[in-house]
Amino acid sequence: MSSIIIEQNIGKTFRNFRGKKFHALEKVNLEIEEGEFFVLLGPSGCGKSTLLRIMSGLDSSFIGSQTYKAGVDKKDFSFVFQQFALLPWLTVEENAGLGLFADHTLTAEDKKTVSGLLKTLGLEGFSHQYPRELSGGMKQRVGIARALAVKPKVMFLDEPFSALDSFTATALRKELLVLWNEYKMTVVMVTHNIEEAVQLADRIAVMTSRPGTIDAILQNTLPRPRDPRSPEFFAMVDKLTALVTK
């Protein structure tokens, strides 16, 4: 495997409105391997969402160097948001196809792609509804469909399940793993949920705050499908808990 995104000495400073500097990120070094499921884990305010936005190209005001693998471009990225970020005036179908019709006029094949994705994500029959008519879980399914429709090489997810109830979140985590296997893309996900990280990730970067930096990167070698009640799973959770709360 080769690296698809390389971050070297990434730093990011915010100024609050009194002009005081605040180091959100400092000396972050990170390599994302192609095809892996990578999780950034850390408490609120440790800069993990900021790092995700820098990696995805949404935030370009940072110091340090960022390299994408040759042939990989921002166009190959997609993003799933914590609060879904579906456009309320577009239907489910239009939202899911946003990345396609932004680029060109929708072809018959695009429409087939979108309706196929909506079917896969259990949204068949909802394509002409508006986001306000959907539950939180269904909105995030649309968010995931939108991210997959562009056939991304890298999919970024910013705490995608934290706004959902635990039953929905559990179901969607499983579906995400199935889709990851099917689409063979690289996934970079931010979470503050340790069990979620252990359940999903190949590698987990533990971040600490003030300034936000990467404390450790752990390889998660638990065999898939992972049993969240197995002793190995608990051992991994304990290890991460110790690192996060250190």
Measured CA to CA, the distance from residue 18 to residue 71 in angstroms comes to 42
Side chain identity at residue 50, one-letter code: T
Touching another protein, residues 82-111 (CB under 8 A): 82-83, 85-90, 98-99, 101-103
DSSP 212: B
Contacts (Cβ under 8 Å, ≥6 apart) of 7:
28, 29, 30, 31, 51, 54, 55, 64, 65, 66
User: What does the block give as tokens for 216?
Assistant: 């450790």
Q: In what order do the strands lie in the sheet with 3-15?
A: 21-33, 3-15, 63-68
For 108, list phi and psi in degrees, rounded to 5: -60, -35
Task: Provide the minimum distance between the beta carbon of 102 and another protein in the complex, in angstroms, as a whole number.
Answer: 4
Q: Which is nearer to another protein, 150 or 207 (CB)?
A: 150
Task: Provide the minimum distance between the beta carbon of 79 and another protein in the complex, in angstroms, as a whole number.
Answer: 5
If one asks whether residue 68 binds another protein (CB under 8 A), the answer comes out as no
Interface mask toward another protein for 151-190; x: CB under 8 A: ----------------------------------------
> What count of other Cβ atoms lies within 10 Å of the Cβ of residue 41?
26
User: What does the block give as tokens for 3?
Assistant: 């690296």
For 106, list phi and psi in degrees, rounded to 5: -65, 130
Q: Which is nearer to another protein, 42 or 131 (CB)?
A: 131
Task: Provide the minimum distance between the beta carbon of 232 and another protein in the complex, in angstroms, as a whole number.
Answer: 35
Interface mask toward another protein for 30-59; x: CB under 8 A: -----------------------x--xxx-
Touching another protein, residues 208-237 (CB under 8 A): none
Side chain identity at residue 74, one-letter code: K
Contacting positions for another protein (CB under 8 A): 53, 56-58, 74-75, 77-79, 81-83, 85-90, 98-99, 101-103, 122, 124-126, 129, 131-133, 146, 150
